[in-house]
Structure 1
Amino acid sequence: MTTHRTVTHPGKVLFPLALGTALSLMGNATLYVVLPTHTAEAGIALGVVGILFSANRAIRLFLNGPVGLAYDRWPRRRLFLPALFIGVVPTILYATTRGFWPLLAARLLWGTAWSAIWIGGTTIILDVTTVQDRGRWVGLYQIGFFLGLALGTFAGGLLTDRLGYHATMWVAATVAAQGSLPVLFLLPETRAARSHRQSPAVKETPLPWHTNRALRTVLLLQAINEFITNGVVAGTIALLVQGLLPSTNLALGVATATGALGAMRLLLAMATAPLAGTVSDRLGKRWPVTLGGLVAGIVSMVLVAFSRPMVAFAGIVLGALSGASVRALLPALTGDLVSPAQRGRAIGVLNISGDLGNAAGPVVAYALLGWIGLSGVYLICAGLYALGSIVTLGFVQARATLGE
C-alpha cells in the first residue's frame, strides 16, 4: 500500500465528484421509492418489481471487472464524464415508457452507467489519498452517494403524490442532467497523481484476492452489507411503510412517508460514513470499527422485524448507521491493501461482490414474502450480519495475535 502524499489535494476533487455522483442518482432513488406502490402507472405487475430492481445490479456483475481495468489503463475523466451523460437516459425512459421490457432496458442501461460512475469516483478518491487519511475522504465522498439517494427518495416520493409517477420522473431526469456540469468544469484528471515508481504495469500486478485473507474478508462483508442495505431494505421499505402506516395515525401518502423515512435513513448515513472513516484513520485500525458496524446491523434487523412502528423506526435508524459505516470502510480497506496500479480493478471486484449481494436482495426478499413475510426476511438479514461479525471477529483476533 502507498503512504505518500499525492500532488492533487483530495478537497479539490471532492466537490465536483460528490455532486456529480449525487445528482446522477435522482432517477434511480425515485424509482425505488415509488415503483412498488405505482405498478399500475408503470404498466407492470408487482411480481416483477424485484427483477427490475435487480437487473441493473446483475449487469454490473459482468461490467465491473472490465470497467475497473479500463480505469487502470485510461484517464479517469475520459470514462467518468460520459458515464454521467449516459446515466440520464434511463430516467427519461422511466418518464416516457410503460411495461416490463422498456423498464428492463432502462435498468440495464442504468447499471452500465452506474458501474462507470461509482468505480470511477472511488478510484479517483483513492488516487488522491493515503493510508493515513483515506477513511475520512472515502467517507466524505460517500456523502454524495447518500445525498443523492436522500434527495431522490424524499423529493421523489413527495412529488409523486402530487404530480404523478411519470411527471416526477421528468423532474428527476432534469436534475440528473445537471450532474455533469461540475465534473466537466471543475474535476481535474487524477490518474497522473500516482507516483510512476509505485505504479507497475497493469499486467505485472495481478490482484491477490485468492491468496490474501484480508481481501477475501472484505469481499464477503461487501456482499452481505449490500444484500441487506441496498438490496432487501431499499427494495422493501415501501412495503414496510405500507404495513406500518395505518397504525400510526399519520395523514401521509405511502409514497411521501416512504420517501421521508428513506431520506432520514440516508441523511443519517451521510453523517456516519465520514465519521466512521475518520475514527478508523485516527485509530489506525479499520477492522474493529467495521466489526462494530456489523454488530449494530444485527440489532437493527431484529428491531425492524418486530413490525411495530416505533421499534421498527429505531431499527431503521440503527441500520442506517451500521450500513453506512461498513460501506465507507470497505473501499478504504481495499485501497490500503492493493497497490496504486491495482485500484481500479480492485474496486471493480469489490463492486462485483456488492452487486451480487444487492442484485440478489430484492429477488430473494420478494420471493420469500409469501412464505415468511417481511419480518422473516429481516431476521434472515440479522443472521447474515451475524455471520459477517463472526468472520470479522476471527480475523481481528488473528491479526491481534500476530501483532498487526
Structure 2
Amino acid sequence: MSGPTAAEADRHSRSAALTLALTLPGDTVLYLLLPLHAAEFGVTLAEAGILLAANRLVRILGYGQVAGLYTRRGPRTACCFAAIAAALATLGYATLSGVWALLIARLLWGLAFAAMNIANQALPTALPEGAARRSGRARSIVAVGPMVGLLAGAALAEVAGPRPVFMVLGVIALLAIPAALRLPSEPEGKLASGPRFALPAALDVWSFCFGLTLDGLFVIGLSLLAAEALPTGAGLAAGAALALRYAAEILLSPAGGALAHRVGAKPLLVGLSIAAAGGLALLGWGGLLLWPAAVATVLIRALLQPLPGPVAAEENPGPARVPALARQATWRDIGAGTGPLLAGVLLPLLPALVLWGGAAALLTGASLALRRR
C-alpha cells in the first residue's frame, strides 16, 4: 500500500479523532458518576472500582489482538466496529444494573477504545512529515468530547441522576459511526513479527511511568483537591477538575505538536516530562504552591499528550510502527491502572512530600533513560 498524501493524512487523522471524541465521554463521565452513585447502578463502591479498572485490564490483554485486526482489516472496519461497541457499552451504563452486566459493557468499551486509540496514533503518524503537528491537532479534537461531557454530565446528573446522562451520551456515540466510515479501508499491511514476550523498551518504561504518575496518581489527586476545595458540590468540583485536563489539551496539544515539529518530538518529550516531574514535586510542598503546581502540571501534561505516538513511530518505522504504538499504549494503561490503586493505599499513609517526590523521581528517571537511548 502506498503512503497517504499530506492532505489525506490530515483528513484521516481528523476523522479518527472525531470518532473517539464522540464516544469517549461515556467512559470519562462514568469515572465521575459511578463512584458517586454506585448504589443506583446496583454495585458497591468496591465493585465500582473493579468496573472502572476492567476496561484497562482487557486492553492490557487485548491490545496485540486489536492491533492485528487493525493491520489486517484496516482503520475503517476496526473503528466502525469500535464505534458501535462503544455506543452499546454507553447505553449499557444507562440501562444495566449489577456488577456482571456492567462488567460486560466495560470489557466491550475497553476493546473499542483500543481500536480507536491505535487509529488515533497510527493515522497521524502514517506520513512521517508533519506527524507531530497532526497528532497535536487530533488530540485537541479528541479532548473536546470529554470536556463537554464531564461538564454537562455533572450538571445533568445533579438534576436527573446518572442514568439519563448515559442515555444521552450513548445516542451521541452513535454519531461516531459516520466519522468512522470516512476512514481509509486499506489494511495497514503485514504485521511485524517479533517475540511475544520481551523486555520493555525505554519508551515503554517511560509510558508506564507517565501512566502511573500523570494519568493515575495526579488525576486522582487533582479530583481530591477539587472536592476538598468545594465539599458541598464534590461531584461538580471533581467534574470541573477533570474537565480542566481536557480544556488544557484542546488549547495546548496543537502547540505541543507544532513545537515538536520544530525541535523534535523526542527531545521535547524528555524536557516536558522533566518539567512535569518538577510540578509533581512542588505538589508535595503544599501551601501556596499547591494550586499553581497543579495547574502547571495540567498544562505541561497537555503539551505532552501528542508526543508519544510520533516518538514511537519514529523509532519503529515500517511494519513495526503499529505494534510499537500498541505496545506503548499497553504500558501506559498498566501504569494508569496501577496509579489509582497506589493512590488509594498510599495517600492516607505517606506524607505528601514523600508521595509526590517519589512520583517525580520516577518520571524523571524514566525520562533521562529515554534521552540516553
* Both structures adopt the same fold (TM-score exceeding 0.5): yes
Letter paired with 1:112: L
**Per-residue deviation, 1:142:** 1.3
- In structure 2, the partner of 1:101 is 100
Matched, 1:289 2:289: no
Q: Deviations over 1:162-215 (max 9, x none)?
A: 22111111111121221112222x3333647xxxxxx7x435x5389969xxx8
1-side partners of 2:73 and 2:42: how far apart? 41
Q: Which secondary structure state, in structure 2, belongs to the residue aligned with residue 371 of structure 1?
A: coil
Aligned ranges 1:121-270 → 2 under 5 Å: 121-127=120-126, 129-130=127-128, 132-184=129-181, 186-189=182-185, 191=187, 201-202=190-191, 206=194, 216-235=201-220, 237-246=222-231, 253-270=233-250
- In structure 1, the partner of 2:320 is 342
Matched, 1:321 2:302: no
Contact 2:284 2:355 in 1 (8 A): no
- In structure 1, the partner of 2:252 is 272
**Per-residue deviation, 1:237:** 4.3
TM-score, with structure 2 as normaliser = 0.89
2-side partners of 1:89 and 1:383: how far apart? 40
Q: Which secondary structure state, in structure 2, belongs to the residue aligned with residue 253 of structure 1?
A: helix
2-side partners of 1:178 and 1:381: how far apart? 41
Contact 1:8 1:190 in 2 (8 A): no
**Per-residue deviation, 1:42:** 2.5
Cα 1:121–1:384, aligned 2, differ >3 Å: closer, same or farther?
same
**Per-residue deviation, 1:287:** 2.8
Identity, in percent, stands at 26
Q: Gapped runs of 5+ residues in structure 1? A: 193-198, 247-251, 400-404
Letter paired with 2:224: L
Q: Which secondary structure state, in structure 1, belongs to the residue aligned with residue 301 of structure 2?
A: helix
2-side partners of 1:209 and 1:291: how far apart? 27
**Per-residue deviation, 1:63:** 0.6
Q: Deviations over 1:124-166 (max 9, x none)?
A: 2222x21x41111112111233222212221211111122111
Letter paired with 1:187: L
Matched, 1:383 2:358: yes
2-side partners of 1:313 and 1:157: how far apart? 22
1-side partners of 2:6 and 2:139: how far apart? 22
1-side partners of 2:343 and 2:53: how far apart? 11
**Per-residue deviation, 1:120:** 2.3
Letter paired with 1:143: S
Q: Which secondary structure state, in structure 1, belongs to the residue aligned with residue 194 of structure 2?
A: coil
1-side partners of 2:224 and 2:315: how far apart? 39
Cα 1:240–1:101, aligned 2, differ >3 Å: closer, same or farther?
farther
Cα 1:316–1:209, aligned 2, differ >3 Å: closer, same or farther?
farther
Q: Which secondary structure state, in structure 2, belongs to the residue aligned with residue 328 of structure 1?
A: coil
TM-score, with structure 1 as normaliser = 0.82
Contact 2:37 2:162 in 1 (8 A): yes
Q: Which secondary structure state, in structure 2, belongs to the residue aligned with residue 189 of structure 1?
A: coil
Aligned ranges 1:79-94 → 2 under 5 Å: 79-94=78-93
Contact 2:154 2:235 in 1 (8 A): yes
Larger relative contact order (C-alpha < 8 A, sep ≥ 6)? 1
Contact 2:281 2:360 in 1 (8 A): no
Q: Which secondary structure state, in structure 2, belongs to the residue aligned with residue 82 of structure 1?
A: helix
Q: Which secondary structure state, in structure 1, belongs to the residue aligned with residue 137 of structure 2?
A: helix
How many residues are aligned here? 371
2-side partners of 1:168 and 1:36: how far apart? 15
